[in-house]
Amino acid sequence: MASRVSLAVATRVLLLLGRSRDAAQALGVAESRLAGDAGLTGAARRALLSQIEQLQAKARKREGDPAPGASLGGCPGYPAGREPELQAKARKREGDPAPVSAALDGAREGREPREENSNLPGASSSVSLSFDASRGRHLVAARGILPGESLLSEEAFVSVLNPGEQLLPLDGVETTWDTSIANEDLYCHRCLKQLLASVPCRGCSYAKYCSQECARLAWERYHRTECALGALLLALGVFCHVALRTVLVAGFAEVSRLVKQAYGNDQEFQTAETSRKYADETPNSRSGTEGPCEKGESPIPGCDGRGQYQSSYQAVFHLLPHAEKHSPEHKFLCCLSVVALCKQLQEAGLEATFLRQGSPESQRKGEACETVSAELEILGEAMLRHMLQLQCNAQAMTGIQESGCGDGTVVNREQVRLATAFFPVLSLLNHSCNPTTSVMFSGTAVTVRASQPIPKGQEIFHCYGPHRCRMGAAERRQRLLSQYFFVCQCQACREELGSDITCIPSTTDTFCCPHCQASMQGEDLLQCSSGACALAVSRDHLSGRLQDLQGRVRRALELLKDDKLEEAVELLLMCLMDAEHFLSPKHTLMGEIEDHLARGYASLGKWQEAARHLQSSIRVVEACHGSSSVEMGHELFKLAQILFNGFAVSEALRTIQRAEEVLSVHCGSGSAQVQELKEMKACLLELPRNLLPRTENP
């Protein structure tokens, strides 16, 4: 009986791996053995035959399905086939009740149970809003915070899908249209969900939606005005589009109220908080306002009448535009864009409909033209303010985009920028080059989690892009000053610049000696750091060699995309041999080559070779980003899939455990990646113990 159970479990594993033919053969053997087994009772025989028939039906159904494989190329992927019952078994193994509790349902959707913040709706009670003259509005820890705790969940006030770059034909010039699929073809223009069967806009060929409901809501809130302006909005850019949609969503009454209030209290408005914004990682001194509206204290800018700071137009309006910091050229371009948009609104007669929706006073017939123009001027002022705000406060929303080989064996998933949005509460987080939070997007919502322990009273930090793991302090400061108008004073920058650590070459982008593989040092003329080797090589020579190598790697990637797997692997192996002669072992290109090799071998079904190269790539990722980074979690996820597909059970279980620990901190225990890891673990643990040694790779 135990052997029959083991065979059934093994068959399910084969089905999960997409090996439907092997599963069918195993079931045929089981059926023939069952027919000749005289020791079974009639009821037991019927039960086993019924189970075999069910498994055979699954095998036939999956006969044409692509086999699941590792997802390589920067972000995690998932096996194509899954057994639904494994989810229930995994929950049972973890001690979750069945049916699943509401708390678990919420966690899987990104809503984790927590005590809400009365002053910051959507934020945890462990977060407190503060304000002082040096840091402006910022968030601090109201108590000690552990890694993985959910600190904030916020829905975008507005978001606009980033259009793809398409080549348009010019007058008198023969130009080939770009027919490639772009963001606007893949995602809903309202909720950003991936499109399966799109619902087109009633008035244009650009906007697409995932459902009739999304199409209706978008039309009612903003698209009835945007629809006729599609070509102009694409020409003016996504910032102008976000600015227009912001005022459309807010409504004219609210926009007019805040614009008039700002100009009526211009001096107070401009000095409400300083435009200097930097990250000081010393514990909060309580020099600012601890709560939004404590008795006897002035409210923090952006709070409503109840003292709450939430994702509202009032909060968006009070984000700093830094008008005095923008270059005259940039301000002129923004003004020109807004004027063009307002002119088109007026010529098309679109502003009257919008103004009547937001302002009952404007509904009188025969209203003077100059009154409408005055109201349109208010909209223009608000849109200009939002365009200036967006340089420092726009949030790039990211998602996972899939591509892969033609046979579906390997799914390549990479992180791409999907949309640009206003998140007024998320914008409260100041920058640090060594942030204490991790940000994840799901549709139009964002979730912020602690990525490391945060003591009580310490400020909570977000990274605006320049990270200490990716560039030196001098370059980080230059980029932050250029875009965000502040000189970064975070602890990471102070430590690096104070200790002159930036003079030490990074191991992730350095050359090594072609003779002895020791590191090369110097500026224009590089010399071997080994005392036994006196080799000297010009930096230009090695840089040219690096560029040539990068070109060959790009050609290998094209071969992978064209399913010329053997040619791609052969070329990548040659690239790896060349790279080992002059690049440091932890150079980022070394990691990329190893990752591409893992992808190629996985596509060929050579799981052991794929795992070996991916492990080499992971060592580079760990050196660049750290052992507990989200990048490390994604790479461990990929390795777990490779080992799972290769039946390296013990090593797969260890890798799954590591990946689950890292990804739970950054993505939450209910994320798709973590759930997938639990399913793989449950599947492997179903294997009988006496089968485990035989399933390991030698």
* 293-297, 614-618, 636-640: segment of lowest average pLDDT: 293-297
Does 268 or 665 have the greater pLDDT score? 665
Backbone angles phi, psi at 56, to 5 degrees: -65, -40
Nearest partner of 429 among 498, 496, 490, judged by Cα: 490
Question: Could you count the other beta carbons within 10 Å of the beta carbon of residue 434?
Answer: 19
Residues in CB range of 314: below 8 A, 6 or more apart? 254, 258, 302, 303, 304
Nearest partner of 397 among 277, 250, 248, 242, judged by Cα: 242
User: What's the rounded mean pLDDT across residues 578-602?
Assistant: 92
pLDDT for residue 281 is more than 70: no
pLDDT, averaged across the chain: 78
- Kindly list the strands in the beta sheet with 525-528, ordered across the sheet, starting from the edge strand earlier in the chain: 520-521, 525-528, 536-538
| pTM > 0.85 | no
> H or E stretch including 672?
helix 672-685
Report pLDDT for 527. Answer: 80
Report pLDDT for 383. Answer: 96
- Kindly list the strands in the beta sheet with 411-422, ordered across the sheet, starting from the edge strand earlier in the chain: 158-161, 411-422, 394-404
Q: Supply 13's token pair.
A: 């594993």
Rounded (5°) CA angle 472-473-479: 95
Question: pLDDT digit string (tens) for 498-539?
Answer: 765 444 445 456 888 887 878 888 788 888 877 777 788 888
Cα–Cα separations (whole angstroms), residue 503 to 24, 160, 269, 499, 521: 62, 42, 44, 9, 11
Report pLDDT for 59. Answer: 62
Q: Which value, to the nearest 10 degrees, does the dihedral of the CA atoms of residues 246, 248, 252, 256 take?
A: 20
pLDDT for residue 298 is more than 70: no
* 208-212, 500-504, 544-548: segment of lowest average pLDDT: 500-504
Give the torsion sign (CA, 414, 418, 422, 423).
negative
Decide: helix, strand or coil at residue 266: helix
Report pLDDT for 181. Answer: 75
Question: pLDDT digit string (tens) for 334-391?
Answer: 999 999 999 999 888 877 666 665 444 444 444 444 445 788 889 999 999 999 999 9
Domains of the chain: 2-61 (no CATH), 114-165+180-464 (no CATH), 547-695 (1.25.40.10)
Secondary structure of 113-141 as H, E, C letters: CCCECCCCCCEECCEEEEEECCCEEEEEE
Nearest partner of 684 among 5, 13, 6, judged by Cα: 13
Q: How many helices (H) and strands (E) does the chain have?
A: 26, 15
Decide: helix, strand or coil at residue 501: helix
Percent with pLDDT over 70 in the chain: 68
Give the torsion sign (CA, 287, 290, 295, 298).
positive
pLDDT for residue 447 is more than 50: yes
> What confidence tier does 64 reach under pLDDT thresholds 50, 70, 90?
very low
Report pLDDT for 85. Answer: 41
Report pLDDT for 472. Answer: 85
